[in-house]
């Protein structure tokens, strides 16, 4: 039953299923393993008498003085008071009405004598108030920690709760996958899943999360362990041939020591009998692509084919452009395979791959498709490693008897990288190419932001480009997402009205790809974006990065964003617009101001904050992990790694652990 589509859920038709797919909810199992991102505390009901600014909770009282009045453009304001014995709590909602008469919300409220309202109390002109609170005209059904799920337009949190209630009826179909000796340390799988969605209290939630985080890490490490234990001999690539020699002779720059050492590591691996499984970890702009190009040409020199997998279409196009520019003059046929490739072109590329008429194919997940077959795939390259799960990595390398080269610009402390990428040897490129100037990073008070945008316009008029990034706005931020988007739009009409501006945000869907492509092609001068901006965008004429509310980003995320500029010889600038309220916030921004070393930034952030959100908002989010955070949960990661290694050593084929073996196979593509 858990493999059934979500359309088996009552009141979920084709349209709702399409919206659910945007949240990666296709089956009932997906619903169960899609966890809440936060919880509302309904464990206690609070009187309006207790309401104070900064409190968040479920308030109950008698409703009085309910009114509604029109504002402008079909916007309406509903106001009421929630009565206590000594104090009132003022309530207001902004709503829309497209018909004559009262709004639907007002009609609901007008039927109630008592009201339950959940929200954040603020200090208002006439006392404590809640704006836009979630209200109930009868006692809420749930009394505990109420889950808040990721949403898309058209799917409400109440719908998500109904979906999980239906799916949990079949929870008994989910088998326990941990070995028996670990069940003394953690709750059972079914109990943990139920408590993750509907915990009775914080203690139950913490235990459930601990179990499921350990499980994700354990399954991940078991997968890595089985890869290592079954590592096979691969095609031994030949010593460097004419293609690699021509490539090195044609380089317009001198390789850094880090690049030279990484190339030596790759050369040694590819010429050995054992499969190469190497991670190239280098800071933004350190020249990792040169190592990838070398490996590709070495494989082609030896008679093989290469697949290069990149996480998004725009990054795939950029990678293809760079590789084709170097490879095709050398007579190495190169192709691009992405979701937007026409059916006719796709068929032709697949035919050429099968006949080895094309040597290097750059693409997205489309490369994993069963229809894509290679005649002699001997090398798989994966860029932006942290964006892919072990499933995708294995699926690509299984297309042939391949060596595997993966690359990552995510700054992770070496000790953590060694644990996370346990099946990979690691080469680190610590230096930047000659002539690359450090990015001039400045902390700017919001009062000076107009000066920053005047500077942006000045640079644009000199033929350069700029990024402006706003923090990702979510429901939990207690901000209105539309207000943030409006602020971005105002910026494009006011301070940046003189230049060509593109705007991208998460609510745009696929249309944002075209905007980013236009920026890449130089048709736009400034790209204003939320954090949907692509890690890895390589725009050589981009020299200015403006980050609004910079104190709301993780340090590594700030460093990644900063790395979108300064890709050429011109001096680049990064303006962090923020007014940090605490000493810790200022210390963190000072680290970014005074160093361009990503690994040092990661280490310093770890020292300052301990195991926290070091990698930024879900930047640690390898698709393998729904719940686990690579830094915050480091102790569980280390525990899971140790347990997995001991189990693999004792039972490499998992013959004595059939349930675990079945779960690993189920999670493979």
Question: DSSP string covering 138-202, please?
Answer: S--S--SEEEE----TT--HHHHHHHHHHHGGGGGGSPP-S-GGGGGTS--HHHHHHHHHS-SSH
pLDDT digits (tens, 9 = 90+) for 653-669: 889 999 999 998 887 65
8 A C-beta contact, residue 382 and residue 396: yes
Cα–Cα distance, 492 to 100 (Å, whole number): 35
Q: So where are the chain's domains?
A: 43-136, 256-429, 440-595
Q: Which DSSP letter does residue 27 get?
A: B
The per-residue pLDDT of the chain, averaged, comes to: 84
8 A C-beta contact, residue 537 and residue 314: yes
pLDDT digits (tens, 9 = 90+) for 32-42: 999 999 999 88
When pLDDT is cut at 50, 70 and 90, the band that residue 415 belongs to is low
pLDDT at residue number 463: 94
Cα–Cα distance, 94 to 88 (Å, whole number): 20
8 A C-beta contact, residue 31 and residue 25: yes
Average pLDDT over residues 122-126: 90
Cα–Cα distance, 91 to 98 (Å, whole number): 23
pLDDT at residue number 512: 77
Indicate whether 186 pLDDT > 90.
Answer: yes
Highest mean pLDDT among 219-223, 373-377, 613-617: 373-377
Count of CB atoms within 10 A of residue 220's CB? Answer: 24
When pLDDT is cut at 50, 70 and 90, the band that residue 416 belongs to is low
8 A C-beta contact, residue 468 and residue 574: no
Average pLDDT over residues 139-151: 87
β pairing state of 114-120 and 134-136: antiparallel
Does 3.40.50.360 match the CATH number of domain 440-595? no
CATH superfamily assigned to domain 43-136? Nucleic acid-binding proteins (2.40.50.140)
Cα–Cα distance, 442 to 339 (Å, whole number): 39
Indicate whether 620 pLDDT > 70.
Answer: no
Torsion of CA 662, 667, 668, 669, to 10 degrees: 130
Question: Where do we find the tokens 């949403």?
Answer: 151
Can 43-136 and 440-595 be said to share one CATH topology? no
Cα–Cα distance, 297 to 380 (Å, whole number): 12
pLDDT digits (tens, 9 = 90+) for 575-611: 999 998 888 888 889 888 988 777 777 767 655 654 3
Q: Which DSSP letter does residue 282 get?
A: E
When pLDDT is cut at 50, 70 and 90, the band that residue 536 belongs to is low
pLDDT digits (tens, 9 = 90+) for 220-260: 888 777 655 555 566 789 999 999 999 999 988 889 999 99
pLDDT at residue number 420: 60
Which residues does residue 69 pair with via DSSP β-bridges, in sequence order?
77
Does 3.30.1280.10 match the CATH number of domain 256-429? no
pLDDT at residue number 299: 95
Q: Residue 59's closest CA among 50, 68, 72?
A: 50
Question: Where do we find the tokens 């209105």?
Answer: 480
- Helix 634-650 and helix 202-229: axis angle, to 10°? 40
φ and ψ of 429, to 5 deg: -100, 105
When pLDDT is cut at 50, 70 and 90, the band that residue 92 belongs to is very high
Torsion of CA 319, 325, 328, 333, to 10 degrees: 20
- pTM reported for the whole predicted model: 0.58
pLDDT digits (tens, 9 = 90+) for 455-511: 999 999 999 999 998 886 544 444 444 455 777 778 888 899 999 998 887 667 667
> Among the listed ranges 127-141, 142-156, 403-417, which one has the minimum average pLDDT value?
403-417
DSSP string of 454-503, one letter each residue = HHHHHHHTTT-EEEEE-PPP-GGGTS-HHHHHHHHHHHHHTTTTTS-EEE
């Amino acid at each position: 039953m858990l493999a059934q589509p979500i359309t088996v859920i009552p009141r979920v038709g084709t349209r709702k299923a399409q919206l659910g797919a945007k949240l990666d909810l296709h089956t009932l199992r997906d619903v169960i393993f899609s966890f809440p991102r936060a919880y509302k505390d309904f464990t206690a009901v609070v009187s309006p008498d207790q309401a104070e600014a900064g409190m968040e909770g479920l308030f109950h009282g008698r409703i009085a003085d309910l009114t509604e009045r029109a504002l402008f453009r079909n916007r309406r304001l509903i106001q009421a008071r929630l009565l206590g014995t000594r104090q009132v709590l003022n309530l207001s909602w902004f709503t829309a009405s497209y018909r004559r008469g009262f709004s639907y919300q007002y009609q609901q409220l007008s039927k109630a004598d008592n009201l339950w309202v959940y929200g954040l109390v603020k200090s208002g002109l006439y006392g404590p108030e809640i704006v836009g609170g979630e209200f109930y005209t009868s006692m809420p059904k749930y009394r505990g920690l109420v889950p808040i799920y990721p949403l898309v337009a058209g799917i409400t949190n109440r719908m998500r709760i109904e979906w999980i209630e239906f799916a949990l009826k079949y929870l008994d179909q989910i088998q326990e996958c941990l070995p028996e000796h670990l069940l003394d340390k953690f709750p059972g799988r079914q109990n943990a899943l139920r408590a993750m969605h509907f915990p009775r209290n914080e203690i139950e939630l913490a235990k459930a999360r601990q179990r499921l985080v350990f499980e994700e890490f354990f399954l991940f490490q078991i997968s890595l362990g089985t890869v290592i234990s079954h590592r096979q001999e691969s095609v031994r690539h030949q010593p460097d041939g004419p293609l690699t020699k021509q490539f090195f002779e044609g380089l317009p720059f001198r390789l850094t020591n880090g690049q030279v050492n990484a190339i030596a590591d790759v050369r040694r691996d590819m010429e050995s009998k054992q499969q190469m499984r190497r991670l190239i970890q280098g800071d933004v702009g350190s020249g990792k692509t040169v190592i990838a190009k070398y490996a590709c040409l070495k494989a082609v020199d030896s008679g093989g084919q290469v697949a290069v997998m990149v996480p998004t279409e725009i990054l795939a196009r950029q990678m293809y452009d760079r590789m084709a520019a170097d490879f095709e003059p050398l007579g190495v046929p190169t192709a691009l395979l992405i979701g937007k490739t026409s059916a006719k072109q796709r068929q032709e590329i697949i035919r050429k791959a099968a006949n080895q008429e094309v040597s290097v194919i750059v693409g997205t997940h489309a490369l994993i498709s069963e229809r894509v077959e290679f005649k002699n795939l001997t090398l798989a390259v994966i860029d932006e490693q942290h964006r892919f799960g072990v499933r995708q990595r294995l699926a690509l390398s299984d297309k042939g008897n391949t060596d595997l080269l993966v690359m990552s610009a995510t700054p992770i402390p070496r000790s953590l990288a060694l644990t996370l990428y346990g099946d990979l040897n690691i080469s680190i490129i610590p230096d930047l190419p000659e002539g690359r100037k450090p990015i001039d990073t400045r902390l700017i008070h919001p009062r000076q932001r107009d000066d920053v945008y005047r500077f942006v316009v000045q640079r644009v008029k000199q033929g350069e480009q700029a990024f402006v990034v706003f923090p990702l706005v979510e429901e939990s931020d207690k901000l209105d997402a539309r207000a943030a988007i409006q602020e971005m739009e105002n910026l494009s009409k006011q301070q940046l009205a003189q230049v060509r501006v593109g705007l991208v945000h998460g609510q745009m869907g696929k249309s944002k790809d075209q905007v980013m492509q236009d920026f890449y092609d130089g048709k736009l001068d400034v790209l204003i974006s939320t954090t949907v901006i692509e890690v890895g965008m390589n725009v050589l004429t981009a020299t200015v990065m403006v980050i609004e509310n910079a104190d709301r980003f993780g340090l590594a995320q700030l460093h990644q964003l900063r790395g979108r500029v300064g890709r050429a010889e011109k001096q680049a600038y990064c303006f962090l617009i923020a007014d940090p309220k605490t000493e810790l916030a200022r210390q963190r921004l000072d680290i970014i101001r005074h160093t361009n070393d990503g690994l040092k930034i990661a280490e310093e952030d770890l020292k300052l904050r301990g195991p926290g959100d070091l990698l930024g908002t879900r930047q640690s989010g390898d698709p393998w992990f729904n719940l686990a955070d690579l830094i915050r949960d480091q102790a569980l990661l280390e525990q899971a790694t140790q347990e997995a290694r001991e189990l693999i050593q004792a039972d490499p084929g998992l013959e004595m652990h059939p349930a675990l073996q079945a779960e690993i196979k189920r999670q493979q593509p």
